[in-house]
Structure 1
Amino acid sequence: MVPSGEANAELRTRIRQQAAIADLSQRALETDALEALLHDTAVTVSETLDTEYCAVFERTADDDDLVLRDGVGWREGLVGTATVPDRDSHAGYTLNADGPVVVDDLHGEDRFTGVEFLASHDVSYGIGVVVGTVEQPWGVLGAYATEKADREFTDADATFLRSAANVLANAIETVKTNQDREVADGERNRRDETDRTERERELARFKRAVEASGHAIHMSNLDEEITYVNSAFCETTGYTAEEAIGKPPSILESGEHDDDYYRELRETVRSGEVWEADIVDQRKNGELYHAEQTIAPVTDENGEIDRFVAVQNEITERKERERDLEESEARFRMLAENLEEMVWISDTDTREVLYVNAAYERIWGRDRESLYDDPRSFLEAVHPDDRQRVERAYAAVPDEEFDEEYRIVRPDGEVRWLHVRAVPADSDDRKLRRAVGIAEDVTERTERERALEESERRYRTLVENFPNGAVGLFDEDLCYTAVGGELLNATGVAPADRVGHHVSEIYPDELVSKFEPHFHAALEGETTSFEVEYHDRHLYAHTLPVRNADDEVFAGMLVVQDVTERREYQRQLEESNQRLEQFAYAASHDLQEPLRMVSSYLQLIDRRYADALDEDGEEFLAFAVDGAERMREMIDGLLEYSRVETRGDEFEPVDLDAVLEDVRDTLRMKIDEDDAEITAESLPRVEGDAGQLRQVFQNLLANAIDYSGEEPPRVHVAAERTGTEWTISVTDEGVGIDPVDQERIFEVFQRVHSDDSGTGIGLALCERIVERHDGEIWVDSEPGEGTTFSVTLPAVGADDS
């Protein structure tokens, strides 16, 4: 973007050049002294173009050299005497050129070699134009400097120098014509012809100067009547000379300026000052146009103002470009100020920041004025580990694009990751060198990527070290990206033979048809399990989704466990359980029959001979009856213990509140006799066998009541969710269990209290039922401090209570 200050500077330069030409034309009209005009021209050119030297070279009579006729800045004694070659010098080269000849570097010049005169004054660059025509040149007008200015010679500079040369050429031609006429007419007619010749010469000089300027020019008298217009005026305004002459300049007024504007204009020129300002005028057809306008007063021989000269340089197209640029810049700023990303524009020559949006303050935590004051201040916030790299990349702009990711440390100590890009945005002529950049806060993305990398690393570690099985990661195309595990080593399959291959390239068709639906389900976020036979081994497989930090599925995982040996163990266990059940059934049948006979005879003795027994006999008989009853309970318990796996019901959702209520009803008499108090929290629904879970609760509550000590039993049942499981706790305030005994209480036929009348099977049965539910059971207790039995059971669902 072109800053408005530069446009204003260019405008002021062109106005100053136009005023200088107008002033020089006026002096050409007012003087016959050629030497004075030559010097005035040299001074005007040097001052206007801001150069140390100006030269007016004239061709010599033999056309071999050019003599320094006048100039500014040259060493004393050279003006009027110094010469340069006609053919091999800058001035000589200019004589044969069609337009201005610019020298950017005198020492590197290869169009001519005669540079001694200029080099002796340390001239390094300059510009020259022909005075006269290329066919009949009078000489050369040139401007020179020792050091290259901040700006190069522009088209406007060349036009100004050519206009000055035209004014000079017209004056020289007029002087020559006058001299020839004076010689021809002689002294006799000289006085009579002076006035007429002077007027004709003045008019001719003025017309030539005006027509050569290329600007719209008109003259008006003190009565504000137009007295003259040039052809450029007619082209610009649409008025012919006949239509304009005699009319006031106000025919051009557009209504875009108020009365104060025109009042100040009139007061300025009537006071003898030059008026310079932009103006919006109106053409004959009503169309508006913009112009740079200079109005200068012209005085007569007595120094009185008798007319005004107005010079207009139309700038309508430039104004439209500037307006479009302003609108474009306004739209850009409106957009940039509402962006989340930081946007800035800088001058790549000076490194000055020309614009930065508000996002800089939000991202960097710093005031953007600090960046305007010191464009390098942003480097202070760059993380020390990244600063050297960023400084190198920043120094390479604009020769190379800037594209870096780095960290910054905000004033509050927070570290942010940025992705910063900057590209050159030079003007077409490369006079304006700019860089446009954008900085995006990628902290969250970077953290996600790092988390994903860490997740992938963990998955790969799992894959490579998975025991007794194999793990594979696969992408959305069902191609493996990583595989490993002990199973591959055992089967002699190399991971390299799997990675990068589609499942259809690896497995038999019947296996692919079984794998693919599960693979697709994993990529859609589902977890599935299935069993397959492969390589003469029985495999248990799981497919599950792999998610990133945003919980998005980016891959799938296949986990395969070799359960061949486990299946064999299961088969052996099933056989063992079957034999155990057969044994238990046989034992219960074979033992219960003689036990019933013993019990029957004991009852018969009690009925028939009770009166004949003394006190010891009665006690002995009671012991025998009780022993037989306990033997029956042990046989029943052992039979129930053996049938946990084989006689249990299918698992289904079980309401533990309902189970606890059934157990309370069953134990109602016991609860009432012992004045027991059983409290419970709201219990969940679990996946299990309702009958077996009822047996667990009954055994635990009965034990809590039996071992309550001297005080009435106080029992509390609680539940806590942990992942996919519920932990159910039964806590009493009873006698407690010694830590030494806690290790054996779940063994069959183990009793820990000397007065224990139980069978020693209850807790062993609880443990076996819980294990069938893939849970655990444990005890926490101290003697005299009460006991807590805890059981884990599978939850029905994550949202199910």
Structure 2
Amino acid sequence: MIDPESDNPDNTRPDTLEAAQARIDKLEQRLAAESELRERAQNNERCFRELAEHIREVFWMTNPLGDQLVYISPAYEQIWGQTCQSLYEDPGKRLAWVHDADREEVLTAFKRDAADGNYDKTFRIDRPDGETRWIRDRAFPVYDDDGELYRLAGFALDITDRINFNDRISQLHTSIDTRDRISVFAALGTGLAHDLSQPLTAARNFIARARMGFTAEGSEIRGTLERADHEISRAVSVIHHLRDFARQGKPTRNKQAVQPIIDDVHQLLDPALRANNVRYHGPALDSIESLELPIDEIFVQQILRNLVTNAVDAFSDGEQNNELREVHVRVNSANDDYVDIEVVDNGPGVADDIQVFEPFLTTKDDGVGLGLAVCRTLARSHGGDLILSDRGRAANSGDCDARTIFSLRLPRN
């Protein structure tokens, strides 16, 4: 109520009609102003309640200690499965429904961080109906006109759907990783079978030679058996290597000299190169002689074997205008961060509309279309990449300098 005399500190009566009218006008202005303030406050409160009662988040407000509830929005009933009235009667129930494994951490964080505005916790709640939900709860301080803390306010959001979605994505990634590993074994099966059969066959030959040479000197027999043991160890190493990849889904990287790996690829594929009348050119000695990289020896060998084999196959798949068929393996180590091992051929090139790394896409009659896709997966598992640097399409016009270039990029560290 407005005190009519509060505008008249001397408590004097107006002595003229004009003075009385002026005082009345002033009182009416004050009444109108206060009425406007009350209406504005009511509108603000109505807007606040409309907002708080229709948002999905639970808006809450307590005293500075958090033990007296000032306000809780209706969304609490839907998320917590409890009535708002039950919380007004016992504010401690808001955090009492927190999952047993999360409760102590949440309570400690609330007491420690809420007043500073640093409280932001994700936890589970157990509803009365037995359902578990994930909640993200945040708090911030509210200060009065004197800068004193007088309330805590915050929002609690149900993020159960988001957590479940992330779990499904994680499971999908695990499924994809498993499928990729199976694809790796399928695509590399022929090469890895050779890696196993070669040392085992050699070991059998050495053992057979030793059995027939019991009349020979003991040192000769011992040397033969040692070579057999070495070959068996190679086979066992490949098996263990595949087992580790199946378990971990990542390559076993060790500091390796690159030159022996490239030399082995050449030796393994030399019969196919000769049979297809393809001349092989290895890397310059000065570019590779002392080069060592943290790589998985078996998988890098498989990648290079696949690239060289594809280059050889390309000559038989297309019309070759040049009489001289060439495959080059080059090493570019000019970059400080990575090394490129390039496999280059002067075959018919790769059509622009062919996505060479697309799984199950192949131009070979007997191909499954996994070779290059798996090779790129293996390259990227090293932290590198496999890149089609040049499709070499100009070779179809008779340009003998045109080249199809695949680059295996491997990090130095």
- The TM-score normalised by the length of structure 2 is 0.46
Structure with greater Cα Rg? 1
Larger helix percent: 2
Q: Which has the higher contact order (CA 8 A, sep 6+)?
A: 2
